[in-house]
Homo-oligomer: A and B are copies of this chain.
Amino acid sequence: MSRTTPSRYPKRAHHDAATIYPILDEALFCTMSFVSEGRVRSIPQSLLRLDHALYFHASVGSHFFRSLAGLEEVCITVTLADAIVVAKTAFNHSINYRSVVLWGQPEVVDDPAEKYAAFRALTEKMVPGSWDYLLPMTEKEMAKTMALKVPIAEASAKIRQGPPSDSENDAPLWTGLIPIQPQRGRPQPGPEAGGIALPRHLE
């Protein structure tokens, strides 16, 4: 059985880019896992997707990060929790979620243009509309940062949406959804922002 064919709830599984990409694009964090000396290791990472690859970054001083580029494959997961599914029984409670599991082989990005494009896209993912407002990225900053690329070799999404499923029971109990999808809050100025207007892209 393929690693991306789930044994339970096969109807929740999806393998198309149109389903998988938006989940990867919405998530700010993923977990990257790999085998090191026969043992499993995992590390949370911020992520960016461009085309059919994920990009990661770290200081060029990170020996750990550099060692990832020597691995045959890493497994990357993303999970977005959308709602608590409240049923009449604890048994039928659930969570509405969208998740992706994928595998790929990490490689260091050597091309400066590709690296710059990834940093720019990551910044725009985190704060849309901000790249042109910020101080331009310098050669020195580029040199201090390593980019790692993981072309997606195999991926699947698993999704649960919709109301609870305990309609067989007619007890008069409330059922429904409690939304838990994160919303961006009001920007909070830092200690140095005194007197500086909130830029339009953050309003």
Listed in ascending order, the chain A residues whose CB lies under 8 Å from chain B are: 3, 7-8, 28-29, 31, 33-35, 38-44, 46, 58-59, 61-64, 73-77, 79, 81, 83-84, 86-91, 93, 95, 97, 99, 101, 103, 119-120, 122-123, 126-127, 130-131, 133-135, 137-138, 141, 144-145, 158, 163-164, 167, 169, 171-193, 196-199, 202
Contact = CB atoms under 8 A, between A and B. Distances in A.
14 contacts: A7-B62, A42-B101, A44-B79, A44-B158, A84-B126, A86-B130, A86-B187, A89-B141, A91-B144, A135-B173, A172-B196, A174-B199, A179-B188, A181-B182
Copies of this protein, total: 2
A126 B131 CA distance: 38
A135 B74 contact: no
Given A8-B61, A42-B75, A93-B127, A163 B177 contact: no
Nearest to A135: B89
A28 B180 contact: yes
A128 to B, nearest CB: 11
Q: Which 3 A-B pairs have the closest CB atoms?
A: A179-B185, A33-B33, A163-B190
Given A28-B95, A95-B28, A123-B93, A177 B169 contact: no
